[in-house]
A and B are shown apart, each in its own frame.
Chain A
Amino acid sequence: MSGLNPILAGDPLFSNGIDTEVVIIVIVKTILVFVILLVSVMFYVWFMRKVIADMQNRIGPQRAGPFGAFQTLADGIKLFFKEQSTPTSADRPVFRLAPYLAIMPAFLAFAIVPIGGLVTVDGYHTYLQLADPGIGVLWLLMMSGIGLYGVMLAGWSSGSKYPLLGSVRASAQLLSYEAALGLAIVGVLVHSGTLSTRAIVNQQAWTSWDSFATDWYWLPAIGAFVIFVIAAIAETNHPPFDLVEAEQELVGGFHTEYTGIRFAIFFLAEFMNLITMCAIAVTLFLGGPSGPALGFLSADNWINVWVMPVLYFTIKVLILLYATVWVRATLPRLRYDQLMSLGWKYLIELAFVWAMVSAIVVVGADQGWDRWITVPAAIAGAAIVLFVLWACIPRAGESIEEIR
């Protein structure tokens, strides 16, 4: 990636300059990612409703299309043609802008996800991935940070109390869990040594069946994986962390005053964020599109080049999405103090300590230090840090002033 534009870096598509065909390929990829995201949100909502129905002994959507698969489409059409109302006390320009501030980062965040491997289109080599910027996964954190503005401005500009409370909750929650999310990503970065999602995926490339446990980062960074998934669910405001829109407490939360297609856009953004987070988790921890190629076909057969990586990627994302639905069907919503307590008292500390310990172990292995010294030393250091942090946590009946 030397000397290249930091945004375009990595993709061999741009290595021989940019001509018309390269631009066309990029446009086609952009449209494809756009369509894939929209369709997958449509699919996910149906999938979620069916799986939850399954876990609650129900049938779920069954009227629109085969097995109710077009239910989301029907809901979308209905919302599209609904009247849109704006409260008189609303800040109108911001009120109208907010849904787009929420959805655009949701689309943009998916750009860095490697969907497939290296393919050749009309002589041009390119990755099945919209962009491979040098900043890599930091792009995800950027976009989820910008997405917060959509939620915050929506609640603030509604000129109404419940949306305001919901958006205040949202900003506090997203800020809290962004720290844990970032530290969990560090747990992978110490192994990969690069931020580029493509490079991270390439390091997890499938060589043998051992790759599943050794090359993929989910096992070497199992602590970071668990923290990442929890923080990602919290970051996208999904149950059991959906306090932003806790109906019993806040009517609808930040989107209480929104109707019609603007409301639909918020929902679209929320589910899109979840899909993106699952895709990023697959990229970071589960090897992205890597998996065993079909042995009876040659390695450069179009099925092995185009179909199988995309298939593996899709299956892995589906497994994670199923897990999120399972969580959604099982856990009740947390109280707000439980949410803050989990984020600040446990996840951030654990993610921090995990990043430290794995950094020591990785650097130790790199420098050839004795593993029997580095690992116990790292664990002992982590225990000390955890104890100090634990001792600093205010106990019941203890006031903050005493600790200061």
Chain B
Amino acid sequence: MGRFSGFRVTIGQVGKVVTTNYPEEKRPKPERFHGRHVLNRYEDGMEKCIGCELCAGVCPARCIYVRGADNPPDAPVSPGERYGFVYEINYLRCIHCDLCVEACPTEAITETKLFEFSFTRREDAIYTKDELLVDDHGRARRQPWELWLGGEDDDTSAWMRATAPSGQAAFEGRVAWSGELGFGVRAPEAGQTAAPDAPGASEAVVEQLEHDDEVLHGHHGHGHGAGDAGGH
């Protein structure tokens, strides 16, 4: 009966379903899913982007176009001197490698878990700053050609740093990001320690951290608005 045992296999699968009822029902995305980008803002509404063009420089697909400009003194767009005046990402080129996110010194650009967009015009594929920037509630703006439901943008900037921006080993395990519009300060991920005095942080690390804090505050303790709400 060997050649008929297949019949039991097929009938045994009846009722078991592994696929989902896709557009209505979506399975959860991985924690660090690389979807389309958003440009984040501080909790006071200021833009995080400082127009430094590091993202454009690191982009292997050359899909990012940034032009910085001086902040108008009476109505600054971002904390500090400069802000991103033009910010465009061409999604016909983007390979979602996340290098721009890693390069960004201010966590201005992050990748969301949103990936379902089908544009019918080439101009739509080039996301301008208006389209990338999060709205007043810190949520990604849904474009007409994007298909995603409410709730899927909950973790728009799900990317989290494992190390401090400077990449110093002593900062490893320390939550070092700033507050974010609509989300506040991120809670530490599993495996990270929230504060230097948390269990697991060695004496040397704590000392190094304290020293670095002084240095950091000495450098840009002034000139920053409420935007400097880091995870200190």
Q: Which residue, of B9, B13, B21, has the highest number of chain A Cβ atoms within 10 A? A: B13
CB-CB under 8 A from A208, the residues of chain B are none
Q: A330-345 toward B: CB 8 Å interface, digit per residue (1/0)?
A: 1100000000000000
Q: Taking the complex as formed, is A329 at the interface, i.e. its CB lies under 8 A from any CB of chain B?
A: yes
Identify the stretch in A8-16, A36-44, A52-60, A69-77 within 8 Å (CB) of chain B at 4 or more residues. Answer: A52-60
Q: Taking the complex as formed, is A214 at the interface, i.e. its CB lies under 8 A from any CB of chain B?
A: no
Q: Taking the complex as formed, is B122 at the interface, i.e. its CB lies under 8 A from any CB of chain A?
A: no
Contact of A330 among B6, B15, B17, B20 (CB under 8 A): B6
Contact of A331 among B6, B11, B14, B15 (CB under 8 A): B6
Complex CA gap A334/B92 in Å reads: 45
**Which of chain B's residues 3-50 have a Cβ closer than 8 Å to chain A?**
6-7, 9-11, 13-21
Complex CA gap A330/B9 in Å reads: 8
**Which of chain B's residues 99-123 have a Cβ closer than 8 Å to chain A?**
none
Q: Taking the complex as formed, is A62 at the interface, i.e. its CB lies under 8 A from any CB of chain B?
A: yes
CB-CB under 8 A from A390, the residues of chain B are none
CB-CB under 8 A from B16, the residues of chain A are 57
Q: Find out whether the CB atom of A326 lies under 8 angstroms from the CB atom of B10.
A: yes
Q: Find out whether the CB atom of B6 lies under 8 angstroms from the CB atom of A55.
A: no
Give the shortest distance, in Å, between B204 (CB) and chain A (any CB). 54
Give the shortest distance, in Å, between A289 (CB) and chain B (any CB). 28
Interface of B is mostly: loop
Give the shortest distance, in Å, between B16 (CB) and chain A (any CB). 5
Question: Could you say which interface size class chain A belongs to?
Answer: 10 to 19
Complex CA gap A326/B10 in Å reads: 7
Q: Find out whether the CB atom of A326 lies under 8 angstroms from the CB atom of B21.
A: no
CB-CB under 8 A from A62, the residues of chain B are 21
Contact of B19 among A58, A326, A331 (CB under 8 A): A58
Q: Find out whether the CB atom of B6 lies under 8 angstroms from the CB atom of A57.
A: no
**Which of chain A's residues 286-341 have a Cβ closer than 8 Å to chain B?**
326, 329-331
CB-CB under 8 A from B14, the residues of chain A are 54-55
CB-CB under 8 A from B15, the residues of chain A are 54
Q: Find out whether the CB atom of B17 lies under 8 angstroms from the CB atom of A59.
A: yes
Interface of A is mostly: loop
CB-CB under 8 A from A326, the residues of chain B are 7, 10-11
CB-CB under 8 A from B7, the residues of chain A are 326, 330
Give the shortest distance, in Å, between B1 (CB) and chain A (any CB). 13
Complex CA gap A402/B194 in Å reads: 89
Q: Find out whether the CB atom of B11 lies under 8 angstroms from the CB atom of A59.
A: no
Q: Find out whether the CB atom of A57 lies under 8 angstroms from the CB atom of B11.
A: no
Q: Find out whether the CB atom of B11 lies under 8 angstroms from the CB atom of A55.
A: yes
CB-CB under 8 A from A59, the residues of chain B are 17, 19-21
Specify the chain B residue showing the minimal Cβ separation from A63. B23
**Which of chain B's residues 164-206 have a Cβ closer than 8 Å to chain A?**
none
Give the shortest distance, in Å, between A302 (CB) and chain B (any CB). 36
Specify the chain A residue showing the minimal Cβ separation from B16. A57
Q: Find out whether the CB atom of B19 lies under 8 angstroms from the CB atom of A330.
A: no
CB-CB under 8 A from B9, the residues of chain A are 330
Q: Find out whether the CB atom of B13 lies under 8 angstroms from the CB atom of A56.
A: yes
Complex CA gap A331/B8 in Å reads: 12
CB-CB under 8 A from B17, the residues of chain A are 54, 57-59
Specify the chain A residue showing the minimal Cβ separation from B24. A62
Give the shortest distance, in Å, between B182 (CB) and chain A (any CB). 34
Q: Find out whether the CB atom of B18 lies under 8 angstroms from the CB atom of A57.
A: yes
CB-CB under 8 A from A55, the residues of chain B are 10-11, 13-14
Specify the chain A residue showing the minimal Cβ separation from B23. A63
Give the shortest distance, in Å, between A334 (CB) and chain B (any CB). 11
Complex CA gap A326/B13 in Å reads: 11
Complex CA gap A54/B15 in Å reads: 6
Complex CA gap A331/B9 in Å reads: 11
Complex CA gap A92/B196 in Å reads: 85
Specify the chain A residue showing the minimal Cβ separation from B3. A331
CB-CB under 8 A from B6, the residues of chain A are 330-331
CB-CB under 8 A from B18, the residues of chain A are 57-58
Q: Find out whether the CB atom of B19 lies under 8 angstroms from the CB atom of A57.
A: yes
CB-CB under 8 A from A57, the residues of chain B are 13, 16-19
Complex CA gap A32/B19 in Å reads: 39
Give the shortest distance, in Å, between A162 (CB) and chain B (any CB). 29
Q: Find out whether the CB atom of B10 lies under 8 angstroms from the CB atom of A330.
A: yes
Q: B55-77 toward A: CB 8 Å interface, digit per residue (1/0)?
A: 00000000000000000000000
Give the shortest distance, in Å, between B53 (CB) and chain A (any CB). 44
Complex CA gap A331/B21 in Å reads: 27
Give the shortest distance, in Å, between A325 (CB) and chain B (any CB). 10
Give the shortest distance, in Å, between A240 (CB) and chain B (any CB). 11
Complex CA gap A326/B12 in Å reads: 11
Complex CA gap A62/B18 in Å reads: 15
CB-CB under 8 A from B20, the residues of chain A are 59
Complex CA gap A112/B9 in Å reads: 37
Specify the chain B residue showing the minimal Cβ separation from A56. B13
Complex CA gap A211/B10 in Å reads: 32
**Which of chain A's residues 65-109 have a Cβ closer than 8 Å to chain B?**
none
Give the shortest distance, in Å, between A165 (CB) and chain B (any CB). 28
Complex CA gap A54/B19 in Å reads: 11
Complex CA gap A57/B13 in Å reads: 6
Complex CA gap A149/B19 in Å reads: 42
Complex CA gap A330/B19 in Å reads: 20
Q: What are 9 pairs between A and B in contact, CB < 8 Å?
A: A56-B13, A57-B13, A57-B18, A58-B17, A58-B19, A59-B17, A59-B19, A59-B20, A329-B10
A-B residue pairs, 4 tightest by C-beta: A55-B10, A330-B10, A57-B18, A330-B6
With A55-B11, A326-B7 given, name 16 new contacts (CB 8 A): A54-B13, A54-B14, A54-B15, A56-B13, A57-B13, A57-B16, A57-B17, A57-B19, A59-B17, A59-B19, A59-B20, A59-B21, A326-B10, A326-B11, A330-B10, A331-B6
